[in-house]
Amino acid sequence: MDKQFLQTKALEVRKSIVTAVHAAKSGHPGGSLSLADTLTYLYFYKMNVDPKNPKMENRDRFVLSKGHTAPALYSVLAEKGFFDKAELLKLRKTGAMLQGHPDMKGTPGVDMSTGSLGQGISTAVGMALGGKISNAEYTVYTALGDGEIQEGQVWEAAMAAAHYKLDNLVAVVDNNNLQIDGEVDKVMSVYPIVDKFESFGWNVTTCDAHDFDSIHAAFEKTNEKNGKPWVIVQKSVKGKGVSFMENLASWHGTAPNDEQYAQAMADLEAIGKELEAE
């Protein structure tokens, strides 16, 4: 794993997220920024994907169960070359390819249409089951929000994944502890997340969502196939990388205005300078 390469890519992804949401004048920057490093790791290190052949049969799959953080997925896919980065500036606009939430029919690289919380993980279970039936080699990855796991369907899916011994399935719970109405533990506590998944028969590990060594270590563990699905509960910071967005629920679904956008890009440029200096 080339840590500096991933850090540089993740920084570009963050700039794209902020730029796309600013251009759209709406969208979900907070949870996109908290997932940016993990998605960068998946698409630039972990997953077997080919931007020239997005429907490649033996590819690893990714389902963004927390579909509202589409700007993160779109930014990573554009960075990887699935489509032109110019599309990001048209996010959410009339006639644009990039819809407010992922649309697998219209966007190369999007493996499942998502947006209605709780549904993505079930489809990921289906993909993993399909892989098992066909003796395929691919792994299915899915990312959930911590607020999202309040949806009962998530636990139906968790039960099914363990029941069918889907060790080709890796879920990530993006635990930034913030949802629209506030802190997750105050809105409707989902804790303890690790214990819950363990009791549902999953392998569980944790990581720091903004440290590539930690992310790498967690995903390396998931290579072990023992008949149980894997979940990585990642401690993340909503709005990570943009000073005034960090740890604020209010940046869940709000776009930065021009002034805030300039500040956000300045913050990210500063991180870039630090990376160069390292």
Partner 1 sequence: MADVKMIATRESYGNALAELGKVNPNVVVLDADLAGATKTGVFKKAFPERFFDCGIAESNMVGIAAGLSTTGKIPFASSFAMFAAGRAFEQIRNSVGYPHLNVKICASHAGISVGEDGASHQCNEDIALMRTIPGMVVINPADDVEAKAAIFAAAEYVGPVYVRLGRLAVPVINDESTYKFELGKGVTMREGKDVTIIATGLMVARALDAAQQLAADGIDARVINIHTIKPIDKEIIVKAAKETGLIITAEEHNVIGGLYSAVTEVTSQEAPCKVVPVAVMDTFGKSGPAKELLEVFGLNAATIVEKVKANLK
Residues that bind partner 1 (CB under 8 A): 61, 63, 103-105, 111-113, 115-116, 118-131, 133-134, 136, 140, 152-153, 156-157, 159-160, 163-164
Dihedral, CA of residue 250, residue 109, residue 119 and residue 125, to nearest 10: -130
Of 17, 146, 148, the C-alpha closest to 77 is: 17
CA 28 – CA 144 distance, rounded (Å): 14
Task: Give the residue carrying structure tokens 């911590």.
Answer: 146
Least distance (Å) from partner 1 to the CB of residue 44? 23
| Closer of 115 and 272 to partner 1 (Cβ) | 115
User: By the 8 A CB rule, do 37 and 10 touch?
Assistant: yes
| Closer of 91 and 160 to partner 1 (Cβ) | 160
Least distance (Å) from partner 1 to the CB of residue 140? 8
| Closer of 22 and 61 to partner 1 (Cβ) | 61
| Closer of 201 and 272 to partner 1 (Cβ) | 201
CA 178 – CA 198 distance, rounded (Å): 23
Least distance (Å) from partner 1 to the CB of residue 111? 7
| Closer of 117 and 242 to partner 1 (Cβ) | 117
CA 56 – CA 42 distance, rounded (Å): 17
Of 273, 246, 244, 248, the C-alpha closest to 261 is: 244
Least distance (Å) from partner 1 to the CB of residue 196? 16
Of 29, 34, 13, the C-alpha closest to 85 is: 13
| Closer of 163 and 186 to partner 1 (Cβ) | 163
CA 11 – CA 17 distance, rounded (Å): 10
In order of 42, 71, 191, 241, the CA distances from 30 in angstroms are 19, 10, 21, 10
